[in-house]
Amino acid sequence: MPKPGPAPRRPAPTAPQIEVRRVAATPAEALERADEVVDQLLDAGRSPGEILVLTVGEAHPWQQHELSFGEERYWAQLAEGGDVFYADAVPTRPARREVVVLVANGGPAARAAEAYAAALGHASVLLVVCGDAGPAAKGAAGAAPGRPVSA
């Protein structure tokens, strides 16, 4: 009677692939382009609670507004998950959403590259990079000015 051979090897489970899209923008334009991307995502049917916007440079005006009500209320919005959440590119608390919009609106190039790597960990489905987040982001997807971002 033949001996059974070794058990077939099962492929190792792979992490889900995150789609990366780039939107060409200068640091001065990146915030405006990010707001357009958020509008497009919402128009395409994304729920506001699925979207996280992370800024590399100066904080998004909406983040500044929400922080004016205090840190506790600001972070409670992240936990509630009912609206688009705006934070620094390296948030001090864990933040994960289906869609992350990374805004390269200033700061050192090294910080933008670090923010890109971190943003990949915050997104579960889609990462949209508005502006230049370094060589890794450039290699991930093509950039096209004015190209609609659908999800």
In a domain, 86, yes or no: yes
> pLDDT digits over 26-67, tens only?
999 999 999 999 999 999 999 999 999 999 999 999 999 999
Q: What percent of the chain has pLDDT over 90?
A: 63
Domain assignment present for 13: no
CATH number at residue 117: 3.40.50.300
C-beta neighbour count of 112 within 10 angstroms: 25
Residue 25 covered by a domain: yes
Q: Which two tokens stand for residue 132?
A: 């230049």
This prediction has a pTM of: 0.82
What's the structural domain count of the chain?
Answer: 1
Q: What residues make up the domain containing 93? A: 19-140
The reply to whether 87 falls in a domain is yes
Which range is least confidently modeled, 44-48, 116-120, 137-141? Answer: 137-141
pLDDT band for 2, please (50, 70, 90 cuts).
Answer: low
Q: What is the mean pLDDT of residues 92-115?
A: 91
Indicate whether 71 belongs to any domain.
Answer: yes
Measured on CA atoms in the order 41, 43, 44, 45, is the torsion positive or negative?
positive
Alpha carbons 88 and 59: distance in angstroms, whole number: 6
- The confidence band for 7, taking pLDDT boundaries of 50, 70 and 90, is low
**Overall average pLDDT of the 112-130 stretch:** 93
Identify whether 66 is part of a domain.
yes
What is residue 148's predicted lDDT score, i.e. its pLDDT? 41
